[in-house]
Structure 1
Amino acid sequence: MKTLILSSFATIITAVAVNAQDLEQVKKTIDAEKFSEARKSLKGMVASAPDKGKNFFYLGQVYLALEKQDSAKIYFDKGKAAKDAGHLNLIGLGQLELLDGNKSAAETNFTNALALSKKKNTEEQIFISQAYLKAATPDASKALTAAKAAVASDPKSALAQIALGDAFVANNNVNDAYVAYRTASELDKSLLRGPMQLAIITRNAQAFPEALKAFNDVLVTNPNYGPAYREKAETNLAWAYAKKSVFEAKIAEALEDYKKYMSLTDVSTDARIKYADFLILSKKWKELETEALSIQKSDKINPKVYKYLGYAYAENGNPEGAIKSLTEYMSKVDAKRVNGKDYLYLGKAKLASSMDDKGVITNQTKFNDAVANLTKAAELNPLLNTEFTEIGIKLYTGKAYLEAAKLFELAVKNTSSKSFSRDSYLLGNSILFYAENKTEAQKAALTAEFARANQAFADAIKASPNTQDAYYNKGQLNRVIGTKESNAQAVLDYEGYVKTVIAKGETETSKPAVKENLFDAYSFIGANYATTDKVKAIENFKKAAEINPADTFVKESLQALSK
């Protein structure tokens, strides 16, 4: 959805009818996504024609496309005083307020802009609709209201139909979005964004071959239309992630398409930054490092370069370089722009510097610092759970069980993940294995950990009731805890294990490891029932004896109970 809306952006901010010939040319430049070139032209235009408010507004929009909000505000503030269409800049300022989460202030700006507009306010409503969609917290409902107002103001405006399509997509109404984009294409056959948006809808339905054909049809109309190559690249990338067997082939095609896109747009720092974003999605870490270093040589002030270097260094085995670069990045940008993945990579880099190749912690302070960053990553983006699982398994393999538990706790924050049951099981195991050889005094300090482990095993069982080892290890945990209450719970856990295993039949019960666990479970259950339920105790000891008739404890227990 985000790609679809962003791909409409260039059309929305460029194709609204204006009289100035130089602005018409800039519009074509922006539509080709040569934002740096457009910025240069617009700067000259606002200097030579300070009474033209639209020039300021479009320049501010270009800065927003380049993620430079401070610069955008400067030109919106200057442009709102212009005699000709200065009110458009109030919409730009409202858009900035929405990006900062100030909805009330934004709506005041929008209301003032509409009050100053002409009766036919199509373009104002279009921009207001787009502002709601690109807000820090998008408001799809208000975006749709504004888009419908734009269409009502001018039913024959292809751009209003594009805005309407974007709003419908944001409201999860793909069918009406399709109609709106198709109508836009019929109203203005030269407007390539209409068929582009239709192709994006096709791609989002995972009809990748059909989407690629649609983008190629756009390129037949205009072989040098760069944005179509970018969307082809996105389509091949989506195909690569959807089907592992074609990953490498489609990634290669995607990168070629994106290089073509860059060759047809401007090879500015801004375009190269976008290419770096694409390399991250393509998992081309060596290429990302090379590209980021190259960008750094030509643009030493762009903070995103530090982010890319941090990611690349982390993936390419240079944790200290990653820590330095990501710390630099976070110090240079607004805290709102630092996302979960940024903290993930910083945490991974710090983690790597705190342990050896076998996953053994060598620096506890660095490890604790890494966990703090990873915790922040989980708070910002619980969907990163697979990353936490991967790190946790490495620690678990290195027998750093308590440390592994901290990572599995982050993984299970995403309760809807496909690996939730497994991650919960590993969390329980981590605490069990850490605690099983501890002294009574040491175990007394693990009350919170034991409660968490019991809950983790319970979560694993609830998510996957046939996972027999979760029952067994939960029983083991409660035996390790060793209180009267935990021993009673262990009996219930072992009974759950027995029931689950027996239900699977002889194929399962005949396995050596399972027989050993069954013997252990029956023996413990029998021993705990010995003073409260003689019949159950004898029943379980007899089952234990069937598995291992030579066991002294079982034989002696049966003899004592039979007297």
Structure 2
Amino acid sequence: MNKFKIFSIAFLASVTSGFAQDVNAAKKAIDAEQYENAKSILKSIIKANPIDGRANFILGNVYLIQTVTDSAKIAFQRGLAGTDGARLNHIGLGTIDLDNGNTTAAEANFGLALKDTKKKDIEELIAIGRAYTYSTKPNFKKAIEVLNKAKLINPNDAIVQLALGDAYIGDKNQNDAYAAYRNAFQFDPTLLRAKMQLGVLLKGAKSYDEAIKSFNEVIALNPNYGPVYRELAETYYKWGRNKPSKSAEYMQTAIGHYEKYLSLTDHSLHSRMRHADFLVLVKDYKALEAEANKMIEMDKVNPRIFRYLGYSAYENGNVDLAIKSLESFIANPDNKVIAKDYMYLGTAKFKKGLSADGLSIDSNLYNSGLSDIKKSIEIDPASVEELNEIGKKMFTAKLYKEAIPVFELGTTNPEDKNYTEDNIYYGLSIYYSNTKKEVKDIVELQKADVAFEKVSVASPTYLDAYIYRARTNSMIGNDELTIKFYETYIAKISEKGPEELAKPTTTKKVIESYNNIAASYANTDKAKAIEYLNKTLAIDPTNDYATKSLLKLK
């Protein structure tokens, strides 16, 4: 899921207008992730006083959380004309500058916000620190530097400590983050987000049971604090991923906690999208499809909904809708396309192109789908790991020619988890595709040989790689290498002892090795050929190939 962004704005101490209570209510709604409720409150304040600087700044931050940058910018620019909290809006505009990669403009805006501040003012420093932390192009060290200035002014300010904790997490400094969150909660025991973040740190350290205990302590203080249920959901999800025996149980528990979280938000489109993102993670595609349709009822034109429709339609068997939805989503230049979007689109085209009997695939749809998959890998090289399952389905369906490029994409990085298996299937796909050809593709077969060699290097104990190399070189017509790799297999499997050699699967491969070595020697060294055929008969006295070949040689 995207990194969660929340602007905890604690400026109430300097609020002097009659809307102090409303601003406080808006802040509480933001912390509870009830963004539509917060926006409604803030818009009421602004309606009464359009140039309320602080209300505009907080509203702009809500829009930034919801990635509605244009509306955020309007709010910040309107807030600049205000009096109370007007300069905070320079920080809002500076955050947008950071997101756009314009650090010079951002620093200029931050400078304007700090101009004429009093020595004991810290709200501007907190807001700048948070801007550096939550920008889409964050600078955590800069955030820590700015927030430490606020800490020097007021070391016991809970919001400063909370903001520091968030910046330290971004900077991968877990110890200082823990201390900051602990301090924040000690300074203000009502600040539940700080206590919740202690559990988030435990979740990040994979101490899932301890994280759950920590989150339950938050629930004991306030059972209606919505965000803690989201954290519980994500914890059970990760625990399930790391504990396969409990995966199904924990995934269901995770979904239950996320439903509870959703019930405590305002069911806005934004919260539903966060829910949809979670459903993608837990692979609950029936629920995802239902959620996507609910979102369409709320907003028929929001382009991100097409992503969820595309994913769920594919998983629920509607490839036409999947392709249509994902193509619509990708075609919109305002959308941030991720690797998974192209991966789903490519696999949907593969599925649509498959013939009714599953024995062939439409070449146009296949080539278009392969192009989409390559785009997915360009965006995120790690997405190549998803191709293993796709390639194996093609291999099982004997679509060897089509499987070759799919597996080839997984053979380039030795760090990929499927590297060894992808090389095996890549080589085998080439081998079996050539069994159908009258004229063998020697260049392709040599690539298969290289793939099997990579397997031997990556996994020296996987001895079948030598069998595959021998078969491939036999198909190439290279008798010398055929003999070499079969003999290597026999030598290495023999080292495992009589018990291994007695296994039926091993015996079969040893006989294959002896017979093929004999065949390779037949035209150049009859004595050697006879020697290996006799080795076969010593294991299997009725072996038809060895018996008939001996008669011919004699």
The residue identity in structure 1 corresponding to 2:496 is K
Match of 2:542 in 1: none
The residue identity in structure 2 corresponding to 1:507 is E
Match of 1:170 in 2: 170
Q: What's the CA shift for 1:140?
A: 3.2
258-267 or 178-187, which moves further after superposition?
Answer: 258-267
Q: What's the CA shift for 1:163?
A: 1.8
CA distance in structure 2 between the partners assigned to 1:495 and 1:96 by the alignment? 66
Match of 1:345 in 2: 344
Structure 1 residues not aligned, in runs of 5+: none
Match of 1:284 in 2: 284
Question: Percent identity among equivalent residues?
Answer: 38
CA distance in structure 1 between the partners assigned to 2:485 and 2:94 by the alignment? 59
8 Å contact kept, 1:382–1:414:
no
Alignment partner for residue 494 of structure 2, among 487, 491, 502? Answer: 502
Match of 1:468 in 2: 463
Are 1:443 and 2:441 counterparts? yes
CA distance in structure 2 between the partners assigned to 1:126 and 1:496 by the alignment? 67
The residue identity in structure 2 corresponding to 1:506 is P
User: How large is the Cα RMSD of the aligned pairs?
Assistant: 3.0
CA distance in structure 1 between the partners assigned to 2:84 and 2:147 by the alignment? 24
Equivalent runs, 1:389-538 vs 2, <5 Å: 389-412=388-411, 415-440=414-439, 443=441, 447=443, 449-482=444-477, 488-522=480-514
Equivalent runs, 1:116-131 vs 2, <5 Å: 117-120=117-120, 122-131=122-131
3-state DSSP class of the match of 2:409? helix
Q: What's the CA shift for 1:17?
A: 4.1
Are 1:300 and 2:300 counterparts? yes
8 Å contact kept, 2:482–2:520:
no
Q: What's the CA shift for 1:108?
A: 4.1
Structure 1 residues 414 and 302, CA, compared in 2 at 3 Å: closer, same or farther?
Answer: farther
8 Å contact kept, 2:350–2:361:
no
8 Å contact kept, 1:358–1:398:
no
Q: What's the CA shift for 1:523?
A: 5.8
3-state DSSP class of the match of 2:415? coil
8 Å contact kept, 2:25–2:38:
no
3-state DSSP class of the match of 1:241? helix
Q: What's the CA shift for 1:315?
A: 0.5
Match of 2:543 in 1: none
Alignment partner for residue 534 of structure 2, among 523, 545, 555? Answer: 545
Q: What's the CA shift for 1:458?
A: 2.2
Are 1:13 and 2:2 counterparts? no
The residue identity in structure 2 corresponding to 1:423 is D
Structure 1 residues 527 and 284, CA, compared in 2 at 3 Å: closer, same or farther?
Answer: closer
Q: Cα deviations across residues 85-141 of structure 1 (Å, max 9, x unaligned)?
A: 433333323322333344444444434444464444533333333333334444333
CA distance in structure 2 between the partners assigned to 1:262 and 1:382 by the alignment? 33
Q: What's the CA shift for 1:257?
A: 2.1
8 Å contact kept, 2:143–2:167:
yes
8 Å contact kept, 1:359–1:394:
no
Structure 1 residues 358 and 78, CA, compared in 2 at 3 Å: closer, same or farther?
Answer: farther
3-state DSSP class of the match of 1:396? helix
The residue identity in structure 2 corresponding to 1:55 is A
Match of 1:154 in 2: 154
99-108 or 365-374, which moves further after superposition?
Answer: 99-108
3-state DSSP class of the match of 1:411? coil
8 Å contact kept, 1:56–1:75:
yes
Structure 1 residues 363 and 503, CA, compared in 2 at 3 Å: closer, same or farther?
Answer: same
Match of 1:317 in 2: 317
8 Å contact kept, 1:133–1:140:
yes
The residue identity in structure 2 corresponding to 1:501 is I
The residue identity in structure 2 corresponding to 1:462 is V
Match of 1:93 in 2: 93
Structure 1 residues 27 and 526, CA, compared in 2 at 3 Å: closer, same or farther?
Answer: same
3-state DSSP class of the match of 1:399? coil
Match of 1:132 in 2: 132
Structure 1 residues 217 and 95, CA, compared in 2 at 3 Å: closer, same or farther?
Answer: same
Match of 1:73 in 2: 73
CA distance in structure 1 between the partners assigned to 2:356 and 2:11 by the alignment? 56
CA distance in structure 2 between the partners assigned to 1:356 and 1:262 by the alignment? 42
CA distance in structure 2 between the partners assigned to 1:516 and 1:89 by the alignment? 77
109-118 or 454-463, which moves further after superposition?
Answer: 109-118
151-160 or 379-388, which moves further after superposition?
Answer: 379-388
CA distance in structure 1 between the partners assigned to 2:484 and 2:132 by the alignment? 55
Q: What's the CA shift for 1:170?
A: 2.0
Structure 1 residues 157 and 398, CA, compared in 2 at 3 Å: closer, same or farther?
Answer: same
Match of 1:217 in 2: 217
**Pairs aligned (count):** 543
Match of 1:243 in 2: 243
Structure 1 residues 102 and 555, CA, compared in 2 at 3 Å: closer, same or farther?
Answer: farther
Q: What's the CA shift for 1:280?
A: 1.8
Relative to the length of structure 1, the TM-score reads 0.87
Are 1:189 and 2:181 counterparts? no
Structure 1 residues 268 and 434, CA, compared in 2 at 3 Å: closer, same or farther?
Answer: same
Q: Cα deviations across residues 291-320 of structure 1 (Å, max 9, x unaligned)?
A: 211221221122222111111110000000
8 Å contact kept, 1:53–1:89:
yes
The residue identity in structure 2 corresponding to 1:461 is S
The residue identity in structure 2 corresponding to 1:464 is S
The residue identity in structure 1 corresponding to 2:340 is K
CA distance in structure 1 between the partners assigned to 2:97 and 2:453 by the alignment? 46
Q: Cα deviations across residues 419-460 of structure 1 (Å, max 9, x unaligned)?
A: 3211211111111111234233x626xx3x445433322222
Structure 2 residues not aligned, in runs of 5+: 539-545
3-state DSSP class of the match of 2:9? helix
Q: What's the CA shift for 1:472?
A: 1.6
8 Å contact kept, 2:230–2:257:
yes
Match of 1:180 in 2: 180
